[in-house]
Amino acid sequence: MKRKIQKPKSKKQMKSKSKNSNPKKPLALLSVWDKKGLKPFAKGLVKAGYDIVSSGGTASFLQKAGIKVTEVSRLTKYPHMLGGRVKTLHPIIHGGILANRGLPDHQRDMKKFGIRQIDIVVCNLYPFEATVSKKNCTLAEAIENIDIGGPCMVRAAAKNFKDVTVIVDPNDYKEVLDEIKAAGGPTSIETRERLALKAFSHTRDYDTAISSYLGGKFAGQSELPREVGVTLEKIQDLRYGENPHQKAAFYRDLSENIKGAVATAKQLHGKELSFNNIVDLDSAWNMASYFADPVVVIVKHNNPCGLAKGATLAEAFKKAFACDRVSAFGSIIAVNREVDEEMVKTVGKLFVEAIIAPSYSKKALEHLMEKKNLRIMISPLLHPPRDMMDFKKVSGGFLMQEADTAQLGLNEVKCVTKIEPGIGEMEDLFFAWGVAKHVKSNTIVFVKDGATVGIGAGQMSRIDATEIAARKAGDKAKGAVMASDAFFPFRDNIDLAAKYGIKAVIQPGGSIRDQESIDAANEHGISMLFTGRRHFRH
Sketch the domain layout of the chain as residue ranges.
22-218, 265-378, 410-530
Active site residue 245: no
What 3-state DSSP class applies to 278?
Answer: helix
- Give me the pLDDT at residue 290, please: 95
Distance between CA atoms of 227 and 207, rounded to whole angstroms?
13
Burial 277-304 (b: 16+ CB within 10 A, else e): bbbbbbbbbbbbbbbeebbbbbbbbbbb
- Give me the pLDDT at residue 109, please: 75
- Give me the pLDDT at residue 13, please: 42
The residues with which 236 forms a beta bridge, in sequence order, are 250
Distances (CA, A) of 401 to 161, 307, 391, 494: 40, 27, 7, 32
Distance between CA atoms of 323 and 431, rounded to whole angstroms?
15
CB 271, CB 281: distance < 8 Å: no
CATH label, 22-218, candidates 3.40.50.300, 3.40.50.150, 3.40.50.1380, 3.40.50.740: 3.40.50.1380
Same topology, domains 265-378 and 410-530? Answer is yes
Catalytic residue among 9, 159, 198, 524: 159
- Give me the pLDDT at residue 15, please: 42
Distance between CA atoms of 72 and 95, rounded to whole angstroms?
14
Distance between CA atoms of 45 and 290, rounded to whole angstroms?
52
Q: Is the peptide bond before 303 cis (omega within 30 degrees of 0)?
A: no
How many secondary structure helices (H) and strands (E) does the chain include? 19, 21
Distance between CA atoms of 241 and 236, rounded to whole angstroms?
12
E strands present in 403-497: 414-415, 444-448, 451-456, 481-484
* DSSP code at position 221: T
- Give me the pLDDT at residue 440, please: 94
Question: What is the CB-side half-sphere exposure of residue 490 using CA atoms within 13 A?
Answer: 9
- Give me the pLDDT at residue 12, please: 43
Q: What are phi and psi of 537, to 5 degrees?
A: -140, 95
For the chain (538 residues), the mean pLDDT of every run of 10, in chain order, is 43 42 75 85 86 82 82 69 68 78 79 82 78 75 77 87 89 88 83 90 81 69 69 89 95 83 96 96 96 96 95 97 96 97 95 97 96 96 85 89 88 95 96 96 96 96 96 96 96 96 97 96 97 92
Burial-class residue 200 by CB neighbours within 10 Å (0-12, 13-18, 19+). middle
Catalytic residue among 9, 39, 301, 363: 301
- Which CATH number applies to 265-378? 3.40.140.20
- Give me the pLDDT at residue 6, please: 45
Active site residue 301: yes
Domain at 410-530: CATH architecture: 3-Layer(aba) Sandwich (3.40)
- Give me the pLDDT at residue 4, please: 43
Spacing of C-alpha 95 from chain mean position = 39
